[in-house]
Amino acid sequence: MGALLIALAFIDLTLAALAAIVWFILNALLNKDAIYSGKKALLKTRKAVYVAFSSSIDFKRNFLSLSRGLKILRGWVEPSQLTELAINVSRKSARYRGKRRMRGASFTIDFTLPRKRYFKVHFPATLRKSASRREFPTISWESLMAKLLSGRARVSLVVVLDSSASMAYSIRGIMTALKAIEREARRYRDRVALIVCKGSSAAIIQHPTTNFNLMLGKIARVGLDDFTPLAAGMYLGYNMALRERRKGYEPVLVIISDGNANVPLERRRGGSSQLSLDPAVRSVLDVASLIARKKIETVIINTRHRVSAEEVEPLISGTKLLISVARLTKGNYVGIMG
């Protein structure tokens, strides 16, 4: 096509310009889903898009069970709901993977009402309920409480937040989604950490903790900056995820950004097969290849999703970069129309 445009330029510049416009329009129409190649699940709404690149059995099972209803509602689904879906799918897949890795008996994480004919009695909860019903030392059937058991693996959410100026309009929706998963995370004693990309580097704002309110409060107070060292934040999150895995927690890396990375790493980490003239973009892809190698569950939340003619061009835009990261890591991608 390039040779044809050059030939037309020698004949008539107006004709060459018209041919170029027609080619761009046709290319955009025919390849509008090209950036989603390799997807295993796709859910579009009026305000956001959800794309999943994972092919594991755990993912398929969790996606089918958690996405029921959202597929029917479609246009009425809020971006925060898609964010919640993506994080919960990754959390459940990570938990199943952790159970396979961590062999051993289940342990008690809470108590619940008996739902089976045979169950293990949670004695402290049973005694408390018996006392509240003024039955103690007698224990009736209505006072019996069962143990809530779980595998040894627990999940650690490592949130990497881009704090560039363009993120100001998206933090509220992200906090809503994180609050929505807080109840289930508390039940399984999941941990959460916060890393912020700001200025020329990234920093750990909150080390892994089970106190969700502490982390949410710090997100609300994060300042904004024009520079986005996304690769540095991802690399810091990658190292924290490995540390959490060594402690017995299965990590889920949640990357929240608009993809406009403009600060590269000081030196290359790993090596991605995808080349780019922009060193900041190359650094992001390098770190993504490291994350993929360690098979860390990854959720990408793009706060300024764009799909236009430029997305099918060789140049890397913010949207195309973040989708490339999701594809490399076989993760979940949520694009919010900003």
Q: What CATH number corresponds to the domain at position 245? A: 3.40.50.410
Using a 10 angstrom Cβ sphere, with 0-12 exposed, 13-18 middle and 19 or more buried, the burial of residue 85 is: buried
pLDDT value at residue 93: 84
The predicted structure's pLDDT at residue 5: 44
CA distance linking residue 263 with residue 256, whole number of Å: 16
Percentage of the chain modeled with pLDDT above 90: 21
Cα–Cα distance measured from residue 123 to residue 144, given in angstroms and rounded to the nearest whole number: 8
Region 194-217 average pLDDT: 88
Q: Is 275 left (phi over 0), alpha (psi -120 to 50) or beta?
A: beta
Mean pLDDT taken over the chain: 77
Residue 326 has pLDDT above 60, yes or no: yes
pLDDT at 28: 47
Extended beta strands in the chain, E state:
41-44, 48-52, 107-112, 146-150, 154-162, 191-198, 201-209, 249-257, 297-305, 332-337
Average pLDDT, integer, range 233-255: 92
Q: Residue 300: which pLDDT band, with cuts at 50, 70 and 90? A: very high
Higher pLDDT, 111 or 30: 111
Please tell me whether residues 274 and 308 are part of one structural domain. yes
Residue 24: partners with Cβ closer than 8 Å, 6 or more residues away: 309
Query: Whats the size of the chain, residue-wise?
Result: 338
Q: Which of 111-120, 247-256, 276-285, 297-306 has the lowest mean pLDDT?
A: 111-120
Asked whether residue 13 falls in the same domain as residue 139, the answer is no
Mean pLDDT, residues 79-95: 85
State which residues form the domain around 21: 1-30
Q: In the chain, pLDDT over 70 holds for what percent of residues?
A: 70
Which pLDDT does position 36 carry in this prediction? 66
Contact between 83 and 256 under an 8 Å Cβ cutoff? The reply is no
Mean pLDDT, rounded, for 273-299: 86
d(CA 253, CA 237): 7
pLDDT, position 120: 83
Residues 193, 247, single domain; the answer is yes
| pLDDT (mean) for 3-32 | 53
Give dist(CA 266, CA 264) in Å, integer: 6
At residue 222, does pLDDT exceed 90? Answer: no
From the list 210, 170, 196, 202, the residue with the least C-alpha distance to 78 is 170
* Amino acid identity for residue 38 in this structure: G
Rounded average pLDDT over 192-212: 89
Are 228 and 163 found together in one domain? Answer: yes
Q: Which of 91, 61, 67 is closest to 183 using CA atoms?
A: 91
pLDDT reported for residue 234:
95
| Joined tokens for residue 94 | 């990570």
Nearest CA-CA partner of 300 in 272, 262, 270, 261: 261
User: DSSP letter at 102?
Assistant: S
- Among 42-56, 100-114, 190-204, 261-275, which is the least confidently predicted range? 100-114
Residues 210, 329 share a domain: yes
Whether 230 contacts 318, CB under 8 Å: no
Q: Would the pLDDT of 103 be above 50?
A: no
Q: Is the pLDDT of residue 325 over 90?
A: yes
Q: Do residues 4 and 39 both lie within one domain?
A: no
Alpha carbon distance 321, 226 (integer Å)? 18
Query: Nearest Cα to 282, choosing from 296, 293, 266, 297?
Result: 266
Structure confidence by residue, pLDDT tens digits, 40-62: 777 888 888 888 887 676 666 77
Q: Are residues 269 and 182 in the same domain?
A: yes
Q: Categorize the per-residue pLDDT at 315 as very low, low, confident or very high, splitting at 50, 70 and 90.
A: very low
Query: 99 with 174, same domain?
Result: yes
**What's the Cα-to-Cα distance from 135 to each of 61, 111, 125, 142, 147, rounded to whole Å?**
44, 20, 14, 11, 21
pLDDT band for 233, please (50, 70, 90 cuts). very high
* Tally of domains in the chain: 3
Mean pLDDT for the stretch of residues 101-110: 55
Q: Which residues of 300-321 are buried (b: 16+ CB within 10 A; e: fewer)?
A: bbbbbbbbebebbeeebbbbbb
127 and 226 in a common domain: no
One domain, residues 204 and 241: yes
Torsion angle of the four alpha carbons 28, 306, 37, 57, in this order, in degrees rounded to the nearest 10: -150
Tokens of 80: 């925060």
pLDDT of amino acid 225: 74
- The phi, psi pair for 291, rounded to 5°, reads -60, -40
Angle at which helices 230-246 and 279-293 cross, to 10°:
10
Q: Are residues 216 and 298 in the same domain?
A: yes
Task: Please say which residue of 130, 149, 168 terminates a domain.
Answer: 149
Average pLDDT value for residue range 299-321 = 71
**199 and 255 co-located in one domain:** yes
Best CA proximity match to 238, nearest among 222, 251, 257, 256: 251
pLDDT band at 17 (very low <50, low <70, confident <90, very high): low
Boundary of a domain, candidates 118, 149, 180:
149
Look at 31-45, 90-104, 111-125, 302-316 and tell me which has the smallest mean pLDDT. 302-316
- Which comes out higher in pLDDT, residue 105 or 207? 207
Q: Which residue has the tokens 């704002």?
A: 205
User: What is the per-residue pLDDT for 289?
Assistant: 93
